[in-house]
Amino acid sequence: MDPKQILARAEKYAPEITQFLRDMIAIPSESCQEKGVIECIKNEMQKVGFDEIKIDKMGNILGRIGKGKRVIAMDAHIDTVGVGDPKAWKIDPFKGKLENGIVYGRGASDQEAGMAAMVYAGKIIKDLKLEGDYTLWVTGTVQEEDCDGLCWQYILKEKVLNPEMVIITEPTNLGIYRGHRGRMEIGVTTKGVSCHGSAPERGVNAVYMMAKVVNEIEKLNTRLADDSFLGKGTVTVSYIDCKTPSMCAVPDRAFIHLDRRLTRGETKEIAVAEVKDAIKRAGVEAEVEVLKYAVPSYTNFTYETEKYFPTWVLEEDHVVCKSSVETFEKLFGQKARVDKWTFSTNGIATMGMMGIPTIGFGPANEIHAHSVDDQCPVEHLVKAAAFYAAFPTIYCQRA
């Protein structure tokens, strides 16, 4: 394997990779509405010569290169968040504008750039005859923005694929990311007694009950565990609601939604117990539940899951991490930056739930994810394509 040849081939395909990314950006593809962009990816995989292309029951697209014994997967979720207020954008979020070597638009960084680079990595592998005793599956997965990891829960639990390792191509600014905090969504409900608002003493106000709980949740955030690599666990009240017969009545029900970020060592059971303890400290009664996700994909397939997304960390001396560092340094002649994501990825399923060694390497900077400045440099597309093309050979030599 000649790193210079791989880089040269990636540079050669820079216009095609860039146009492919722009084509995907031009197709709105929020969670559960990805059909159009999946068809675009299928056409591009066919064009560059993938050996097999399939779309599973959930609507994920999977493209195969090679047919060796070692099964490697590279993943990009291809759904995006919405654009918010279109007036806040300096450019049309669906034009895929190319200016001064940067592609702009919704999904550029998070994370259709990874998809574009992976597909052309497949072409580079074919061109340079880099196929070895491995099978590479390139996956474009759905519903990640709505429910991270759901797609890979389905892929792994339903035995669509069984890879020995996975690369997540979420934006890392070309760093090598080996984990991130987990998260979970918790609901808390207080129940009171409704009555006419002119005589509130006849009832029990569920909002007042919940106010005491919210105060204790704020205090809980200061007591949560910390980790030298991943950082501190956190809890945030992200939504509050109440039910009342009218605006002239005492509410008989209140609800809060908690966004709980989990650091190393924190589990679902620990997090739920901490919330229950906070309620006890508040001196009220309340119900606690881990919320569920059960929304149909664009194929009208529902795969229900609990909204618990485990923390994961790949040790720095693991062969997958070492192979990633070696790939980067051989290609680019500089020291690799090894770090972590601040947000959550499909790695919560591949490694967090299923224990499959997982690493991250992606084009674009995560600071642009979900922003009105969503963007990816063309240089990143080229380097990422080269990395994805070179990695399987280096990994199979090491592992």
CB atoms within 10 A of CB 208: 15
CB 388 within 8 A of CB 167: yes
From the candidates 56, 79, 266, 374, give the one annotated as an active-site residue: 79
393 token code pair: 């050979």
133 token code pair: 């005793």
Has 79 been annotated as catalytic?
Answer: yes
Distance of alpha carbon 59 from alpha carbon 168, whole angstroms: 18
Distance of alpha carbon 144 from alpha carbon 60, whole angstroms: 11
15 token code pair: 């216009």
Distance of alpha carbon 218 from alpha carbon 163, whole angstroms: 41
Has 226 been annotated as catalytic?
Answer: no
152 token code pair: 């890979």
- Cβ neighbors of 343 (< 8 A, separation 6 or more) are 180, 366, 369
Task: Give 2-65 as a DSSP string.
Answer: -HHHHHHHHHHTHHHHHHHHHHHHTS--BTT--HHHHHHHHHHHHHHT-SEEEE-TT--EEEEE
- Cβ neighbors of 285 (< 8 A, separation 6 or more) are 190, 191, 209, 279
- Compute the half-sphere exposure of residue 55: CA atoms within 13 Å on the CB side of its CA: 18
From the candidates 144, 170, 266, 366, give the one annotated as an active-site residue: 144
- Cβ neighbors of 107 (< 8 A, separation 6 or more) are 24, 25, 29, 78, 80, 374
8 token code pair: 């040269």
Catalytically active residues are 79, 144
